[in-house]
Each structure stands twice: as C-alpha cells, then as structure tokens.
Structure 1
Amino acid sequence: MQQAERAIFDLRRGQPVRITDGECDVLTLAVESLTEESLARLRGMCNGAPALVITANRARTLDLDPGDAPAVRLALREDAATADIHALATAVCSDPADHSLHPTTVPAARAEYAATHMARAGKLLPAVITIRARGTDATGLDRLESDGTILHVTADEALTVPTTPWLDPVHVSDARVPLADADNTRFLLFREANGLHEHVAVVIGERGQWPDPVPIRMHSACLTGDLFGSLRCDCGEQLRNSVRTIDAAGGGVLLYLAQEGRGIGLANKLRAYNLQDAGMDTLEANCSLGFGADERHYDAAVAMLRHVGVERVSLLTNNPLKIGALEEGGITVADRQPLHGSLNPHNVRYLNTKAERSGHWLDELFARALPDE
C-alpha cells in the first residue's frame, strides 16, 4: 500500500503514474491537474491514444450508459483540448460528442478503474487521462520507472487504498483548549496510519464526572460553515450547539472528523456548490462529479471513542446512518438527541434534501417558520 500512497501524491502533484493489472499497462494523469504541457508530456512517454476514464456516476451525468462497469473509458479526439476535458469531468454536458470524444464508450480496464480510485482516495476528481502501453511502450516505461521518473503500482495495490478515513488512528498529541462554550476542554489529535488524515477528539469536562450514557457528537469538518459561518448549511450552528449541549450535560466528547464535503474534500465540495447553484441538490451534485452521494465512514470515530474509554453513548445527531455506524463498530447507542441549527433562505433546500433523500430526522426543525428573507 505504501507505493500506492506515494502514487496518490504524484497524481496530486500532476505527475504521471504507471498502473498494471496483468492484462493492461497504463500511464495515467489526474484530470484535476491536467495541463496542455502535462498532456503533451504524457503523449511523449507513451505512443498510444489518450482516453478519459470516469466513474459510472459521472458517465450517467453525461447521458452515457456505463452498464455494470464501475468506470468507463472514453476515447478522445486528437485535437482534444484540456479545457474540454476538464468540462467533461466537472460540468453538466448535454452532448459529450460536442466536446472532445469519439462516440465509443467502453468499460474501463481494471488498471484504469484503479486510477480513478486513487484519484478519489486523494480527494481529487475521480477522473483520469490514461494511455495504454503497447509494444515498445512498455520498454520505455520500464526505463522511466527504473530511473525514478515515474512510479509503478499494481491495480491490486491501488485498490487497497481506502477512499475514506479510517486507518488505525494513532493519538499524536493533546492540550487543554478552553472554549467559549466549554471552559474545561482538551483536544486530542489523532493521525491515521497513512498520514493523510488527522482527526480531533474534543474532550469536554472530567472523565470521572461524565453522565451515562456519555453525550457525544460526530461532526464532519466543514470549513465554510464551521469557520466562516456559511449560510448554505447548518454545520457551524450544529458544531457550537453540540459543544454547549455536551458541556451542560456534564461533559462528553465531540469528534471532529476530517471528512469535508461528505468525504469528497473541500475542492470538490466547492465544485458541487456550483452544480447546486445550477439546479442540482447535494446528492445529485456529488454524484455528478463522479462520487457517491455520501463518501463518509466512521471507523475512525469508533477507534477514537475506544481510546478515550467510551462504549455507551447518547448521540447528538439527526442522521440515522451515524447510529448504525457506531453500533456496527460495537459502540452502544443508548439514546439519540436531536441537534438543529436554524433555517434560512440559503440552506432550506439543502436541509430538505437531507430529510427527503437521506432520511435525516428534521421534522421538528421544519415545524418552525422560515424567517423572512
């Protein structure tokens, strides 16, 4: 897995990576970092024709039928411009043939699907450019690999890299951090084994004085809402309300998880916002970019709770999936407490989507009148 994690960093830096699966040998670049220069460099390393590989969800957005394939390979015209390739990976295109594609759409090889998986694990767009090595291409790639110009991973290695945080978080450091709403608070930082993600357990009050069950909140990071007070969501209000609630109850734990944008990362979350402004809801926008509707997992949260000695909780949430995730991890959810922000004209559609399409318990919130604009 270590080689695959290094390859993810190369994809993030705009460097090509070689992926093989025994039947297919490909050189790949992440679309997110694609430039005319890097595309020309890729062509210089491998003589085949470049193709765009996208996930099944993205293909459906382009009105293409992926069948049962998790990813599809789209042939590119010789004159394909990087601007058109970026549009095919991010924008809503009514007719892909108007851009850079030949009409052929075929299932991606396993090595090509592995390339989209690595991009997704690196919080990049799950879209890549690939060139399949044929004939003497492989010899040239062997040489580039041996002199350190490119990294080589197998599809098996690439597909073992998790796309969401959960890898054995290790307690790294901690300190007392008094908060405006909870004076007796300590922050414990956990780093995952691959070094890619860090999470914080905000421990409120004295462990020996916590009630049973222990009040906890699992809060996925939201830079726009938590820090800047964005009106597009209720995350910042939920964060501060949970700290106040836990402190008033006698203490407990808030887990601040590195899962921005339902696990797709900040860059993709902002792309999704643009799609929402064009008419999509949250789930549709995430899927349009090639992701699942919700990429989050909570294994790291379970490990952090065990570290601080919590096995029975009162969970502050409106999300039924969080209850299931904790119980699957062996944490007893003795009861649930609702946790609401407030409605405003900017977040009402977002919250409606949570309730109607994700099953969040928000009836009490919607019983309140929407403030005047």
Structure 2
Amino acid sequence: MQQAERAIFDLRRGHPVFLQETAADGAVIAAVETMTDVQAEELRELGGGPLRLVLSARRAEALGLPPVDPDAPAVCVELPETVTAEQILALVCGEDIMPPEELGHMNVSDAAGLETVAVDLTRSARLLPAVLAVRARTDSEAPLAEQLRSQSVLTVPLREAQRLISTPRLRMSWISTAEVPLEDAGHTRFVLFRESNGMLEHVAILIGHQDQWPDPVPVRVHSACLTGDLFGSLRCDCGEQLRRSVRMIREAGGGVLLYMAQEGRGIGLANKLRAYTLQSSGLDTVDADRVLGFRDDERRYDSAVFMLQELGVDRIALFTNNPEKVRALETGGIQVLERRAMHGRVHDHNRGYLRTKAARAGHMLEDLLDETDRDEEPPGRSS
C-alpha cells in the first residue's frame, strides 16, 4: 500500500494525486482544504474538463444538496468555472462567506466509487472530507501523461486506495521506550508506537511494575485532547480524566494508559477547532461534526488492541464511560472483564457537552449528570 500511504501525505501537502481506475483513465484529485485558485486551474488543465466538488453526504445535506440515493456516502457537485478556492472552502467547512445558491446553477449527483474513495482518503489524512476531482485519461497526448511520467503527480491504483481505507488494522511498530516518572505515578515507562502509514504515533504509559500488575490489568484508552489535556480547556473534561486515570491506575496496583493520537474523536485538531466555532453558534458537538461532513465518531481502536497485545495484556479492567470502546476492544480479542467509570467535574462550561455525549453518543454519564443536577436544585425543591 505504499502508493496509497504516500497519497495521504501528498494530499496534506496540497499536491494532486491521480486515482487510477483503469489502465487508461481515472481522476485527478486534490484536497479542498489545501486548494488555491492557481492549483484549481492546474487541476482543470490536467483533466481538460469541469471540476467536481466531492462532499461527504452529511456535508451535502447540511448545504441543502442531499444525495439522490439516501444511502450514497458522498455527493458530486459540478462547479462553475467562476468559483474561487475561497468560496469552495467556505462551502466545505461551514464558513458563511457565500451560500450555495449564489454560486449559480450546480449539477448535483451521487458520487461514484472512485470519488467516494477520494473523500475517504482526505478523511484518513485528517483533512476536511472533501476533494476537487476531474476525470482524466493517461493517453500519451493527454495533459496528465507528462506529469505522470515525471512522477510530478503520484499515481495510486484505485484498489490499493480501497484496501488502505478498508483495512481493519494498520501495521504498527514499537519504536522507542524510556522511564518517565510522573507526579501522580512515580514508576512509569513510556512506549512509543507508530502506525505503518507514518501519520500517527501513540504512546503506552506503563504505570507501576508490570510483574506486579493485578489481573485483570487496569487500562485507560485516552484520546489526545490538546486543549483539555495540556491547556485545561473548560469545554470538556478530558484533562481531568487523563490525570485522574493515572492516579486511579496507580492506586489499583498499576496498569496501562494508552494515549491515542485521535484528537477530536478522530477528526484532528484543525477540524476540532472548526467544530468549536460551529458549537459557539449553537450546534452541539455531534451536529457540528456532522455539518463538517464527519461521522459521529471517526476513531478506531485497532491500534489500541495491537498495543495491548504487544504488551502481553489481554485481560483488562477498562476505565471508560464509552461502551463503544468496550465493544471495539472485545471485538479485537481483548477480554474486558470489568468497566470502571471515569468522571471529571461537571460545570457550566462542559455540562452541555457531557449531556450530548450521554444522550447522543451513548456514554454512561447519567448518574453523574443527575447527581450534579440534584446538587444545584434550589432549597425546598424536590426531584
């Protein structure tokens, strides 16, 4: 899958990629997030035809451009030549610069398999799930042919890209390790793992002495949150959960904290900040992600399964409120023998966020939220 893995980096760098469907044709694609007017014009010239904006079905629906087939995963919009890169980006990321109707007539159709794969590649690259695509041939006289011969444009066979997207587990490598004593857990060792495509690195934090860990082993799978973990953001309870889990694992006799590079439920920091902006206008965290075109939760836990297996851990007591983590680890072969709640504080800044997680994402937080509601009731009022 080397070419498909390289494509992820080329898309992040703003380079076009040729998705080859047959020996003679395919489509040149580029990520909307990195697009400029000059690059859009170069894309038109490579294909010799009109540009098509390919959006996830959720983003298209938010724009009032629903797919013809309600089960279609993506939608194509044929763009007028006068549209600018700024306008396209505004359409994709929810910025109110120019509504769709002001762009003129746009032909909308359901995306084909190749175009859907293109969107999934940008999602894998932690970019907005949207591409500009133009059909192109590889004939010797075609504008694209010279770019492919000189390898200025990377060729990725469609089937290879499909395998990358659908692979249930990425290969991972144990990269390095070091003793790193923590304030809340004196004896700790950090182990760095890297996914095979080079995109993500995850850390296993081994708390206490492994030969003294209890059975089942206390484990926390924690998704990275720069704003909460490092800066103490009040929008969430992630930082508190992180520090509390270190203490709780130590008090339980030691175990493992997996720190997963899955910011913003897997959409990446840039898109998490975009979602925050949408939340400030009144959307909850689930709807904000949907408006940007993402699924409710883009995280995968196969990397967590791999890390635990590499550490020789297959029977665990999992610190989580998220039933999906339990299901994912068990599906991967990890025995979750016990689930233990993991709570932070509830306050005015994060109460809505926590309610959404409970009501719409199935997180087991009802007892915590009910308790804080009772604590805040005026004197003399009963529940």
CA distance in 1, matches of 2:231, 2:140: 50
Where in structure 2 are the equivalents of 1:1-373 lying within 5 Å?
A: 1-22=1-22, 25-66=26-67, 67=69, 68-91=71-94, 96-100=99-103, 102-133=105-136, 139-162=142-165, 166-369=169-372
- Alpha carbons of structure 1 residues 156 and 212: separation in structure 2 relative to 1, 3 Å: same
- Alpha carbons of structure 1 residues 197 and 294: separation in structure 2 relative to 1, 3 Å: same
CA distance in 1, matches of 2:230, 2:263: 13
1:73 is displaced (CA, Å) by 0.8
- Alpha carbons of structure 1 residues 84 and 332: separation in structure 2 relative to 1, 3 Å: same
1:115 is displaced (CA, Å) by 1.4
CA distance in 2, matches of 1:240, 1:328: 28
- Alpha carbons of structure 1 residues 101 and 288: separation in structure 2 relative to 1, 3 Å: farther
- Alpha carbons of structure 1 residues 295 and 101: separation in structure 2 relative to 1, 3 Å: farther
CA distance in 2, matches of 1:233, 1:92: 24
CA root-mean-square deviation: 2.2
Q: Which runs of 5+ in 2 are unaligned?
A: 377-383
1:109 is displaced (CA, Å) by 2.4
Q: Which whole-Å deviations, capped at 9, do the CAs of 1:80-101 have from their partners, x for residues lacking one?
A: 0112111110116799542435
Identity between Structure 1 and Structure 2 (%):
52
Letter in 1 for 2:62: T
- Which sits farther off after the overlay, 362-371 or 166-175? 362-371
Give the match's secondary structure for 2:298.
Answer: coil
Letter in 2 for 1:21: E
* Equivalenced residues, count: 372
1:150 is displaced (CA, Å) by 0.6
- Which sits farther off after the overlay, 213-222 or 111-120? 111-120
CA contact (8 A) 1:264 1:295 kept: yes
CA contact (8 A) 2:30 2:131 kept: yes
The alignment's TM-score, normalised by the length of structure 2, stands at 0.92
Give the match's secondary structure for 1:5.
Answer: helix
Q: Which whole-Å deviations, capped at 9, do the CAs of 1:326-361 have from their partners, x for residues lacking one?
A: 111111111111010011222111100110011111
CA contact (8 A) 1:24 1:111 kept: no
CA contact (8 A) 2:18 2:29 kept: yes
1:295 is displaced (CA, Å) by 0.7
CA distance in 2, matches of 1:88, 1:288: 11
CA distance in 2, matches of 1:133, 1:298: 37
- Alpha carbons of structure 1 residues 118 and 337: separation in structure 2 relative to 1, 3 Å: same
CA distance in 1, matches of 2:140, 2:276: 41
Q: Which runs of 5+ in 1 are unaligned?
A: none
Letter in 1 for 2:221: M
